[in-house]
Structures are given as C-alpha cells and as structure tokens.
Amino acid sequence: MNIKETGADFLPINGTDYVEFYVGNAKQAAHYYQTAFGFQPLAYAGLETGLKDKASYVLKQGKITFVFTSALVPESAVATHCKLHGDGVKVIALWVDDARKSFEETTKRGAKVYQEPMVHEDQNGVVITAGIYTYGETVHLFVERKNYHGVFMPGYIKWDPVYKPASVGLKYVDHMVGNVGWNEMNVWSEFYSRVMGFTQLVSFDDKDISTEYTALMSKVMANSNLKIKFPLNEPAEGKKKSQIEEYLDFYRSPGVQHAALATDNIIETVTALKSRGVEFLKVPAAYYDTVPDRVGSIDEELKPLSDLGILVDRDDEGYLLQIFTKPVEDRPTLFYEIIQRKGARSFGKGNFRALFEAIELEQQSRGTL
C-alpha cells in the first residue's frame, strides 16, 4: 500500500537536511569541496569545541549541506569506517518536523536502530536527531530543527575563513543513488516502501541498462512529495565486471554511488567546475550526432554541450541535461552527477548506454573491467 491508497504519509520529509561523509582528512576534503565544487564554509566542530575523537567541517551551497568528518583517534568509529570503505557517505540526513515520530514509525516497521532520539541544545535552541540504518553501513538520520536558529547544530561553531572561492551555482540534492549487493534489490526497495512509506517511480532491468559487457538493474524509490528520490542499483550478470561490482569490491559493502546536484545553468556550472579541476566522464563525440533526433529542439546550443560533454535526454514531461564526474577519491566509488531539469522528472535512461560505455573505458584503464 502506498500514500495514494492510505491517504496518510507516516513519514513526512521536508527534504535532504545534510549529507555527511566519513573521510581520511576532513580539513583537506573541506578545502577540496570549497575549491573544486564551490561550497561555502558554514560550521566546524573539533578539538576547539571540546570534541576529543573527531572533527567535522560543514559546507553549504544553495540548499545543499555537506559535512566532512574525520577521526582524531584510531579507536573512533569514523576511523573504522574509513579503513573499510575509504572516503564515502555515512549519513543521508532527512529534514523532518518530528524526529521522534519518524524514528518510531520506521523502527516499528522493522528499521534497524542506529541512534535513539537525542536532544541537542545550546543558546540557539534545540535540534532532535534519531537514526536508522539503510543499505550497507549507510544511515538515515532524522533531523528536527524547527526550534533551532544557530548556524548548523548545537556543538558546532561558525566557520568563517578568509578563503572563500565563489559558488558554482549548485542548488539542491536532486537524488542520491545507492549500490546494493547481488539479489538485494528487492530487499532494499521493499525496505523503502514498507519501512519508510516510499513508492517506486520507475524501474529498469538489464535489457534497458546493458552494454556489450556490463549490466545492472535499477529501481527508483521516492517519498510522497518527491523531495527525496533514491535510485537503487544492483549488479546483473554481464560478460565482464560491471561498474556496480567494481564499486562493491572497492567500497567493501553496499553504499552511496553518486549524489546528483541540481543547477539552473548547467553550462555555466560545468564550465566553472572544469576550470577548478573537477574531472568528468567524456562520451564519444558521435553521441551528439543523434541528439537532435532523439530529444528534438532544446533551449541550449549543441556546441557548448558537446564541448563540455553534457548529456541530454527527454521524457514525456520535458528534457534534462546531465553530466557525471569521475570518482572523487582513489577508490573507484563515489562520484557526482550535475543535473539541470527542464520539465523532465526521469533520470536519463536514454543516456545509460553511452554513459556506461564511457565508464567501461575508465574501468579498462583501471584494470577492473
């Protein structure tokens, strides 16, 4: 049963609150996301604020909040996580009006507890958090901040360095994609529907998403107001190792494969990102020969799209422009998508083949195909 059948959403979510990454060196990661991706410094917690075992840097761009956390001592859970997975997403925090109720509703439906409801308080008010596990060691933290007016959360101080490279125009998290293990697609799509009340938007199987060598299956789960969209990928048998298998081998478990960040002007955003050293996947120039036939007329000139390697796809409601970075750490795990929607609410199915062939070229060079 879904929201349309029951008429009630037991887990109303306002949007993505923040994404927290566990990384080897948060200070340097924060610098990279400022310099390369245009995130703005917001808040900090560490030794200076009384923490003994970890440090966190909070950065913001548009409505996107990223937190980079690293361990100060080897006994820290952050250190254990990094040793196993490398740098990656630990927390996808969801902005809710009632964290305790979100926790109760999901745990009574079978969610595994990560953190019991906790009240965080300082002179700026109160934040309540509670957390549940999803795939792998990834966590959803429910964040209730309606009674808080500080920069980020109690425990954090304002971080206001002199160094502040300009934003690149990223606006909000469009979707966050999880790679799950073999035969786990139904386990996790069922988790999102039963435990979190999400519904399935679309699904693709290996006939939609296969190249000569690699295959995968994908389902997109979304909450009732569509603010939260979680595509899930599962590897499928192909002639060679798929990018999903490569991810699972290096991340050592299911985890977040990519975050799609939205912009209102993808040509400007990608031009800025490239000039700051962000590396993108490149599709063959021949890709653009078929674009006019496949997507019809679009507002943008084809030349800058082709120069930058931006992909185009159309659905019944409009079109979208998208491009994918290379992994942003040495393990071929997490990467980013930059997306501009012009009416389309889909995910670029028409680009999957061109895209996966581009990824296979990268895998070939890593010896992991």
| Residue number with CB closer to Fe ion (250 or 324) | 324
Residue 158 CB coordination number (10 Å): 12
Under the criterion CB under 5 A, does residue 228 sit at the interface with Fe ion?
no
Under the criterion CB under 5 A, does residue 260 sit at the interface with Fe ion?
yes
| Residue number with CB closer to Fe ion (143 or 355) | 355
Q: Which two tokens mark 311?
A: 């992909």
Under the criterion CB under 5 A, does residue 20 sit at the interface with Fe ion?
no
Binders of Fe ion: how many residues, by CB under 5 A? 2
Least distance from Fe ion to the Cβ atom of residue 313, Å = 11
- Backbone phi, psi, residue 6, to 5°: -95, -25
| Residue number with CB closer to Fe ion (91 or 260) | 260
**Stretch of residues binding Fe ion (CB under 5 A), selected from 103-111, 256-264, 270-278, 357-365:** 256-264
Q: Where are the beta strands (DSSP E) in 188-227?
A: 199-204, 215-222
Q: How far apart are alpha carbons 212 and 357 in whole angstroms? A: 9
| Residue number with CB closer to Fe ion (70 or 233) | 233
Least distance from Fe ion to the Cβ atom of residue 339, Å = 7
Least distance from Fe ion to the Cβ atom of residue 11, Å = 23
Under the criterion CB under 5 A, does residue 87 sit at the interface with Fe ion?
no
Furthest C-alpha separation in the chain: 60
Q: Which two tokens mark 273?
A: 């990102």
**Stretch of residues binding Fe ion (CB under 5 A), selected from 82-90, 117-125, 254-262, 359-367:** 254-262
Give the relative orientation of helices 352-366 and 243-251 as an angle to the nearest 10 degrees. 50
Q: How far apart are alpha carbons 355 and 362 in whole angstroms? A: 11
Least distance from Fe ion to the Cβ atom of residue 179, Å = 12
Least distance from Fe ion to the Cβ atom of residue 320, Å = 10
**Stretch of residues binding Fe ion (CB under 5 A), selected from 72-80, 115-123, 255-263, 306-314:** 255-263
| Residue number with CB closer to Fe ion (194 or 342) | 342
Under the criterion CB under 5 A, does residue 222 sit at the interface with Fe ion?
no
Under the criterion CB under 5 A, does residue 245 sit at the interface with Fe ion?
no
247-259 as b/e, with b when 16 or more CB fall inside 10 Å? bbebbbbbbbbbb
Least distance from Fe ion to the Cβ atom of residue 140, Å = 19
Q: How far apart are alpha carbons 153 and 276 in whole angstroms? A: 30
Under the criterion CB under 5 A, does residue 313 sit at the interface with Fe ion?
no
**Stretch of residues binding Fe ion (CB under 5 A), selected from 36-44, 81-89, 253-261, 293-301:** 253-261
Least distance from Fe ion to the Cβ atom of residue 201, Å = 12
| Residue number with CB closer to Fe ion (102 or 325) | 325
* Contact criterion met (CB below 8 Å) for 281 and 324: yes
DSSP state letters, 140-158? EEEEEEEEE-SSSSTT-EE
- DSSP assignment, residue 198? -
Least distance from Fe ion to the Cβ atom of residue 347, Å = 5
Q: How far apart are alpha carbons 336 and 174 in whole angstroms? A: 11
Least distance from Fe ion to the Cβ atom of residue 165, Å = 26
DSSP state letters, 228-280? -EEEEEEEE--SS--HHHHHHHHHSS-EEEEEEEEES-HHHHHHHHHHTT--B
Under the criterion CB under 5 A, does residue 174 sit at the interface with Fe ion?
no
- DSSP assignment, residue 182? T
| Residue number with CB closer to Fe ion (130 or 262) | 262
Query: How far does Cα 245 stand from its chain's mean position?
Result: 18
Under the criterion CB under 5 A, does residue 244 sit at the interface with Fe ion?
no
| Residue number with CB closer to Fe ion (153 or 260) | 260
| Residue number with CB closer to Fe ion (105 or 234) | 234
Residues with Cβ < 8 Å from 120, sequence gap 6 or more? Answer: 126, 127, 128, 129, 153, 154, 155
String of contacts with Fe ion for each residue 324-353, x by CB under 5 A: -------------x----------------
Binding site for Fe ion (CB under 5 A): 260, 337
